[in-house]
Structure 1
Amino acid sequence: MRGETGLLADLETLAIPFAAHEHVAVFTVAESEPVNAAIPGAHTKNLFLKDTAGAFWLVTVPGEARVDLKALPAAIGCKRVSFGKADDMARLLGILPGSVTPLAAINAAPGSITVVLDAGLAAADRVNVHPLRNTATLGLTGGAILDLLRHWGHAPLTAAIPVQ
């Protein structure tokens, strides 16, 4: 697994600008609110999911979104989904709950997980995500996140994620 060191190296190699922020550990969107208040840009939450066919999905949405999990499969092209297990997350992405980020795809074999970025985030000038740990935040464009995912051999999806 390439981890954060590999991530930072790829950002440099691809000349992707980003803003880095160190902060206290945050495990939930609610815990991150005071931290987020000091960091400009769109904030995110991530859903690690498994569909009924056994495929894994990582869906990144705006932090305030309440995703409609019943409507989500139709929007991303799969069958019914449920939350994935922490051991699968660790095995596939090399991260633990609380540190979920689309950037963890650096550790995933191409085809082992499908990463979905909310369409609004994909178009955003600044999206804030963890750099594989929950004690820091990186701000970069939605397009840069998609470029990184493709660089790592993934075929990311963008979708209008249904909310409640």
Structure 2
Amino acid sequence: MHPALPHGILLKVLTMDIYDLLTSQNITFQRVDHPPVYTCEEANRVTPDLPGARTKNLFVKDRKGKQHFLIVVADHKATDLNQLGEVLNIGKLQLASSERLQKYLGLEPGAVTLLGIVNDPERHVTVVIDEDVWQQDAIQCHPLVNTSTLVIGKAGVEQFLQSTGHTLHITKIPERELAAS
């Protein structure tokens, strides 16, 4: 575990600190700054054609709020939370509130990111990445705010998660069928 991330101490990493943290771990990244974005469509409009998987991140919980998950999927995928709950043997999943997002990941809505896991030293949140995303060489994500996009290679993502003490779970995330128009 990285010395900046001791187990048992609640740590809320600031945006500028995330760059220092990645650099201190020799995790290379490409950074593109842009206006604030709140949807994948907005992000796709304001960012250039970057390498790696364009992602969206869902912060969800089980029905009783005892288990929390950060789900990383391709930005175009409509996730079926009911089927995902079955895949994870959890039962029903639902989006978690903004209060829970702040409590567990120190993030605001619109800035949900894989890197937010750094703010979960107690490992209350399970990271689940869709196997389609994991097949890419790199992943695009926000650096704790929605005004930049980073591209981080898979090895860097693995190293980052290892430094936070989180296990990487890769699975086929079920896709919701969209109604025909």
Question: Do both share a fold (TM > 0.5)?
Answer: yes
Q: Who is 1:52 aligned against?
A: 63
1:37/1:50 CA distance change after superposition, 3 Å: same
Residues 32-72 of structure 1, C-alpha deviations (whole Å, 9 max, x = no match): 22124433332110111010242111101000111112211
Residues 78-97 of structure 1, C-alpha deviations (whole Å, 9 max, x = no match): 22101100011011111100
Q: Secondary structure at the match of 2:170?
A: strand
Q: Secondary structure at the match of 1:47?
A: strand
Tell me how many residue pairs correspond in the alignment. 164
CA contact (8 A) 2:82 2:91 kept: no
CA contact (8 A) 1:53 1:79 kept: no
1:17 has 2:28 as partner? yes
State the AA in 1 paired with 2:23.
Answer: E
1:133 has 2:167 as partner? no
What is the RMSD of the two structures over their aligned residues, measured on CA atoms?
Answer: 1.6
1:110 has 2:122 as partner? yes
Q: Secondary structure at the match of 2:94?
A: strand
1:71 has 2:83 as partner? yes
Structure 1 runs (4+) greater than 6 angstroms displaced:
none
Determine the C-alpha separation between the residues in 1 that align with 2:155 and 2:170: 11
Deviates more, 1:129-138 or 1:44-53: 44-53
1:26 has 2:40 as partner? no
Determine the C-alpha separation between the residues in 1 that align with 2:16 and 2:44: 27
Q: Who is 1:144 aligned against?
A: 156
1:38 has 2:53 as partner? no
Determine the C-alpha separation between the residues in 2 that align with 1:77 and 1:8: 35
CA contact (8 A) 1:149 1:156 kept: yes
* Unmatched tracts of structure 2, length 5 or more: 1-11, 177-181
Q: Once the two structures are aligned, what percentage of the paired residues are identical?
A: 30
1:98 has 2:106 as partner? no
Q: Secondary structure at the match of 1:46?
A: strand
